[in-house]
Amino acid sequence: MTDDFRARVRDWLAANVPDSSEDAPAEELIATAKRFQAALHDAGLAGITWPSQFGGQGRSAAEQQIFDEEAAAHELPTGVFLIGLGMCGPTLVDLGSTEQKARYVRPLLRGEEIWCQLFSEPGAGSDVASLQTRAVRDGDSWVVNGQKVWTSGAQWSDHGALLARTNPDQPKHKGLTMFVVDMHAPGVTVRPLRDMTGRAPFNEVYFDDVRLPADAVLGEVDAGWFAAVTMLGHERVSIGGSVRRRYDPLAYHNLVELARTRNRLDDPLVRDGLAALYTAERALSLFNARLRQEADAGSPPGARGSVAKLAGAELLWQAVHVAGLIAGLDAAAWDPGSAEGDELAVAINATPASSIAGGTDQVQRNIIGDRILGLPRDPVADRDIPFRELRVGTQA
Q: What is the DSSP string of 82-130?
A: HHIIIIIHHHHHHH--HHHHHHHHHHHHTTSS-EEEE---TTTTT-GGG
| Nearest residue to 156 via CA among 260, 78, 245 | 78
CB neighbours of 208 closer than 8 A, spacing ≥ 6? 145, 187, 189
363, HSE (Cβ side, Cα atoms, 13 Å) = 19
| Nearest residue to 216 via CA among 161, 149, 173, 139 | 161
Residue 379 has pLDDT above 90, yes or no: no
Range name among 135-139, 201-205, 270-274 with the lowest pLDDT average: 201-205
Residue type at position 371: R
Residue 318 has pLDDT above 90, yes or no: yes
Contact in structure between 178 and 219 (CB atoms under 8 Å): yes
Indicate the pTM of the whole model.
0.82
Give the number of other CB atoms < 10 A from CB of residue 243: 19
At the topology level of CATH, where does 115-224 sit?
Answer: Butyryl-CoA Dehydrogenase, subunit A; domain 2 (2.40.110)
- Average pLDDT score over the chain: 88
pLDDT in tens, 348-373: 888 888 888 778 899 889 989 998 99
H helix or E strand, kind and range, residue 140: none
Question: Cα–Cα distance between 350 and 201 in angstroms, integer?
Answer: 11
Please tell me which residue, 319 or 240, carries the higher pLDDT value: 319
Range name among 62-76, 115-129, 192-206 with the lowest pLDDT average: 192-206
pLDDT in tens, 243-257: 556 678 899 999 999
Residue 124 has pLDDT above 70, yes or no: yes
Please tell me which residue, 290 or 217, carries the higher pLDDT value: 217
What pLDDT is attached to residue 244?
Answer: 56
The secondary structure of 150-170, three-state, reads CCCCHHHCCEEEEEEECCCCC
| Nearest residue to 354 via CA among 242, 272, 270 | 242
Residue 215 has pLDDT above 80, yes or no: yes
Does the active-site annotation cover 235?
yes
Spell out the domain ranges in the chain: 1-77, 115-224, 242-359
- Catalytic residue among 63, 70, 113, 235, which? 235
